[in-house]
Amino acid sequence: MQKFPFAVSLAALTLGSAGLAGCGQKTTTEAIQPVTEAEAKSVVADFATAAQSMDLPAIDKWYNDDVVAFDPQETGHILGKVSMHVANARFVDMKFDHADMPDPKIQILGPGQFIASGLAHLTSSTGKEKEADFRYTEVFQKQADGSWQSIHEHIDFPPKA
């Protein structure tokens, strides 16, 4: 299996008003209803659906303007939505049309933030690379309009057996 840039899926540490270090996104926890594990799993499922759509605008909408991401094919980190768009375009060019992300581990960080992490398996019916496995960690933050966006993503490959 060839390594590939996959900056569409999922992330690490969080930020904001509840938080740790940040992307500069300001939220008010007073107005945000607590996220449930069921809601978080639904967000992750919608995220996976966007990833397998190969629709670049649908994928891009999942990333915050100040997203920080790590991709196994990038040296250093990806900073901001513009750089994330470039990484997402490389992913779309790989033509993975199915993303299986079973049983994400959900960690609620606060009323409007959670981490999703796990293993994923991608397959393609038309791309050069037919399948790939990776580990992901994605930090999602609820936005003022009620949508969810990733504020931090970390993707790497599992060690070879």
**Matching residue, tokens 């992307």:** 23
pTM (2 d.p.): 0.78
Q: What Cα–Cα distance (Å) separates residue 84 from each residue in 3, 17, 110, 157, 160?
A: 18, 23, 25, 19, 27
Query: What share of the chain in percent tops pLDDT 90?
Result: 64
Note the pLDDT tens digit of each residue in 33-66.
789 999 999 999 999 999 989 999 999 999 999 9
- Strand partners of residue 133: 121
Q: State the pLDDT at residue 129.
A: 86
Banded pLDDT at 32 (limits 50, 70, 90): low
**Matching residue, tokens 């409007």:** 112
Query: What share of the chain in percent tops pLDDT 70?
Result: 80
**Contact criterion met (CB below 8 Å) for 131 and 1:** yes
How far apart, in whole angstroms, are the C-alpha atoms of residue 105 and residue 124?
25
Residue of 144, 141, 102, 108 lying closest to 122 (CA atoms): 102
What are all long-range contacts of 45-48, with beta carbons under 8 Å and residues at least 24 apart? 47/9, 47/10, 47/116, 47/138, 47/140, 47/150, 48/9, 48/99, 48/100, 48/101, 48/120
What would the mean pLDDT of 74-86 be, rounded to a whole number? Answer: 94
The domains of the chain, with CATH numbers, are 29-156 (3.10.450.50)
